[in-house]
Structure 1
Amino acid sequence: MHSTMTLWIVFAVAGLTGLNGVSGTPAETVTLDDVNTSAHPNSALETLEGEENFWKPTVVVVVVEAEEEVMETGELNPSHYPAQRAAKVVQHYINTQHGSPYKVFGLQRVFRANAEDVSDSGRKYHLELSVQEMVHNTTLACTAEVLFPGGEKTEHWPQVQVSSCDELLKIDTSAQEEALYQKYNMNHSLSTQNLPDSNGHIEPDHEPFWHLGTVASSFVMFRESTQNTLYNMAQVDNATQLATEKDQLKFDYHVLLHDLVSQEIIPWKLLVTWSPLEGVKVQKMEKSSNCRHCNKSQP
């Protein structure tokens, strides 16, 4: 068993369910006027995984002191990081399979978790958790298994199986999606940046593209996730619509991802396509040095 003691300073929007139940002590509540968001971009931007009012620009400064039993097997504390990391992978997986500009999934709570070593295959987590569809504020309890591959595997990203979430995945957004598709298929007019801005605000017309960027970012976070990472979406740095190809709307996204373990803000460049029929696809993804915030030192 390998035990490590870490002390993290985490800035999170009040009501952030991605950290719901994680060991920590709320030290102070501040408004965005008190925070230097250029120095701490994550402090004002992790707004996705909140409850129904997750746009509110109130920031809770949380000091997290967690002792991690990284290789612990059997029943896990659902509020500790090994269980939370595995559960976040479930969130990202569901977004890659079912997310859209009008359907975005977030982790709400982990009820039970256990882990086991599976011979040479890796390490498997069994989870009981609740998942929230953020746009419609609908929550459902699910069960899931997450396998982090071990050994010399060709594919190193996790393997996920989810059950009991069928009703959550059936939310009908077809009319909204068709209207959005027809509007932007005709004029190719999207060009935006800073979603959300330093005040936590997003123009209503751009909210679907914040959702789309969040879903597309889940493709990256899912593939990059390990037992030693905990990723959140921070911000759409900028997004530009490209010419439509094969009936797919096409976008160039620059997004900022926050790894709570390293406290890094990591920029990625994504080539994203979407249509109501084909869903969200990420054609290319690469780490980028083109980030207006990421050269700022972190606390």
Structure 2
Amino acid sequence: MELPPACSAARRAAALAAAYTCYRRGGPGRGLGLRDVRRARGQDIEGVGRKYHLELVLEDVLDRERTVNCTAEVLYHLGNSRIAPDVQFTLEGELKNTDEADNVFYSRIKSLKKELVAEYIPDSHGNVPPEMEPIHLLAWVASGYVIWQNSTENTKFQLAQIKHVKQVKRSDEYLEFDYLVLLHEMVSQEIIPWQMTVLWHPQHGVQVTRDSRQPQHPLE
């Protein structure tokens, strides 16, 4: 069944597809966000769940003029929110090459005398210091994994802020960061604290090795 691209069910599925694609293809030099939904179709699969067929435009969150077309399918499993939705995507066109930026960032972090620690990114005015942009993008990409694992047909998550991030010392070639982030669930308007342990290496991409929802604090 054809759906209006602006309808909220299509937008929620599209936001999930964008988050998943970002997790698979993003890194400290590239984050992807949803620019537009061009076409959407819903399909009920008896005994399985509901599938959305989507045609999207994704944008580079650092360079919003740079866009890429994406076709995606999102399958929400029937009545079981414990199973992550199935997401498949195909990108049309090339994403920008971030090898150089990735290697510069990797070398910079590896050469620090003390482990990196930072908080409140972006700040209350929405600003991200330039040297923290890769740390912010890494959280954006890793939160795509958390969003994928915890989405249902009735949710729409987005990273709101890094509350705290600390680099963890390792003896191998990976970089490891322990994040406490705030996720904005746009349907309920809830702000949810979430812990994520994130590994990254220029050749191997982003991995989320641990994540857990944290208790709410009254001020949030």
Which bin holds the TM-score, normalised by the shorter protein? Answer: over 0.9
CA distance in 2, matches of 1:213, 1:93: 13
Q: Counterpart amino acid of 1:214? A: W
CA deviations 1:227-261 (Å, max 9, x no partner) are 11011110000101110242100111000001011
Residue 70 of structure 2 is aligned to residue 119 of structure 1: no
1:122-133 superposed matches below 5 A: 122-133=49-60
Displacement of 1:142 after TM fit? 1.9
2:24 aligned to 75, 97, 119, which one? 97
1:242 aligned to 127, 146, 168, which one? 168
1:208-223 superposed matches below 5 A: 208-223=134-149
CA distance in 2, matches of 1:121, 1:191: 45
Q: Which residue of 1 aligns with 2:218?
A: 295
Shift in CA distance, 152/208, structure 1 to aligned 2, threshold 3 Å: closer
Q: Which residue of 2 aligns with 1:284?
A: 210
Q: Is the 8 A contact 1:238 1:254 kept in 2?
A: yes
Q: Counterpart amino acid of 1:272? A: V
Residue 180 of structure 2 is aligned to residue 254 of structure 1: yes
Q: Percent identity?
A: 37
**Local SS of the residue matching 1:108:** strand
1:1-299 superposed matches below 5 A: 74-137=1-64, 138-151=66-79, 156-163=83-90, 165-169=91-95, 171-187=96-112, 188-289=114-215, 294-296=217-219
Displacement of 1:198 after TM fit? 0.8
Q: Is the 8 A contact 1:247 1:275 kept in 2?
A: yes
CA distance in 2, matches of 1:208, 1:174: 13
CA distance in 2, matches of 1:166, 1:247: 32
CA deviations 1:44-102 (Å, max 9, x no partner) are xxxxxxxxxxxxxxxxxxxxxxxxxxxxxx11121121000100111111111111011
Displacement of 1:141 after TM fit? 2.0
Displacement of 1:201 after TM fit? 1.4
Displacement of 1:186 after TM fit? 2.2
Q: Counterpart amino acid of 2:218? A: N
Q: Counterpart amino acid of 2:97? A: D
Q: Counterpart amino acid of 1:146? A: V
Displacement of 1:176 after TM fit? 0.8
**Local SS of the residue matching 1:115:** strand
Q: Is the 8 A contact 1:196 1:236 kept in 2?
A: yes
Q: Is the 8 A contact 1:121 1:151 kept in 2?
A: no
Displacement of 1:168 after TM fit? 3.6
Displacement of 1:204 after TM fit? 0.8
Displacement of 1:166 after TM fit? 4.2
Q: Is the 8 A contact 1:78 1:112 kept in 2?
A: yes
Q: Is the 8 A contact 1:100 1:279 kept in 2?
A: yes
Q: Is the 8 A contact 2:77 2:83 kept in 1?
A: yes
* Consecutive unaligned residues in structure 2, runs of 5 or more: none
